[in-house]
Structure 1
Amino acid sequence: MIRVASYNMRKAIGTDRKRRPERTIDVLNELDADIVALQEADRRFGSKASAIPVAMLDSHSDYKAVELDIRAGSIGWHGNALLVRKPVEVLEHHLFHLPSLEPRGAVLADVMVDGALLRCVGMHLDLSGLWRRRQARAILEHLDEREGSPSTILMGDLNEWSANGGCLRDFAADHDFAPCGRSFHARRPIATLDRIMVSRDLKVVDSGAHRTALSRRASDHLPIWADLSPRTRSLGG
Structure 2
Amino acid sequence: MTPASARPSLQTAPPGSQPLRVVSYNIRKAVGTDRRRDPDRVLRVLAEVGADIALLQEADLRLPPRRPVLDPVAIKAATGMAPVHFAKGVAMGWHGNALLLAPHIKLQALALHDLPGLEPRGCLVAEVQRGDQHLRVVGVHLGLLRGSRRQQLTALLRHLGQDPLPTLIAGDFNERSLEVGLGRLSRQFTILSGGPTYHSRWPVFALDRMAVSEGIQPLNIIAHRSADADTASDHLPLVGDFTLSAAQTRSAGGAP
Task: Return the match for 1:75 from 92, 95, 100.
Answer: 92
Partner Cα distance (1:177, 1:87) in 2: 27
Is 1:135 the equivalent of 2:149? no
Task: Return the match for 1:154 from 144, 166, 169.
Answer: 169
**CA distances 1:74-104 after superposition (whole Å, capped 9, x unpaired):** 2101110111102321011110010012221
Is 1:84 the equivalent of 2:101? yes
Q: Report the counterpart of residue 180 of structure 1 in structure 2.
A: 194
Is 1:56 the equivalent of 2:74? yes
Superposed CA RMSD in Å reads 1.3
SS at match of 1:43: coil
**CA distances 1:22-48 after superposition (whole Å, capped 9, x unpaired):** 111111111111111100000111321
User: 1:61 offset after TM fit, Å?
Assistant: 2.1
Q: Report the counterpart of residue 95 of structure 1 in structure 2.
A: 112
User: 1:180 offset after TM fit, Å?
Assistant: 0.8
User: 1:235 offset after TM fit, Å?
Assistant: 4.3
What code does the residue aligned with 2:208 have? D
**CA distances 1:187-224 after superposition (whole Å, capped 9, x unpaired):** 01000000011102211111110011110010000000
What code does the residue aligned with 1:106 have? C
2:194–2:223 Cα contact (<8 Å) kept:
yes
For structure 2, list consecutive stretches of 5 or more residues without a partner in the other structure.
1-18, 250-256
1:158–1:193 Cα contact (<8 Å) kept:
yes
Aligned ranges for residues 1-237 of structure 1 at < 5 Å? 1-72=19-90, 74-144=91-161, 148-162=163-177, 164-230=178-244, 233-237=245-249
2:193–2:206 Cα contact (<8 Å) kept:
no
For structure 1, list consecutive stretches of 5 or more residues without a partner in the other structure.
none
SS at match of 2:161: helix
1:66–1:93 Cα contact (<8 Å) kept:
no
Identity among equivalent pairs (%): 38
Partner Cα distance (1:93, 1:214) in 2: 32
Partner Cα distance (2:196, 2:247) in 1: 29
Partner Cα distance (1:21, 1:86) in 2: 22
Q: Give the paired residue count.
A: 231
2:50–2:79 Cα contact (<8 Å) kept:
no
Q: Report the counterpart of residue 9 of structure 2 in structure 1.
A: none
Normalization by structure 2: what TM-score?
A: 0.87
Compared with structure 1, are the counterparts of its residues 138 and 209 closer, same or farther at alpha carbon in structure 2 (3 Å cutoff)? same
**CA distances 1:141-194 after superposition (whole Å, capped 9, x unpaired):** 11016xx422100000010022x2233211111111223111000001000000
Compared with structure 1, are the counterparts of its residues 67 and 235 closer, same or farther at alpha carbon in structure 2 (3 Å cutoff)? farther
Partner Cα distance (1:199, 1:172) in 2: 10
What code does the residue aligned with 2:246 have? S
Larger relative CO (CA 8 A, sep 6+): 1 or 2?
2
2:196–2:205 Cα contact (<8 Å) kept:
yes
Partner Cα distance (2:147, 2:193) in 1: 24
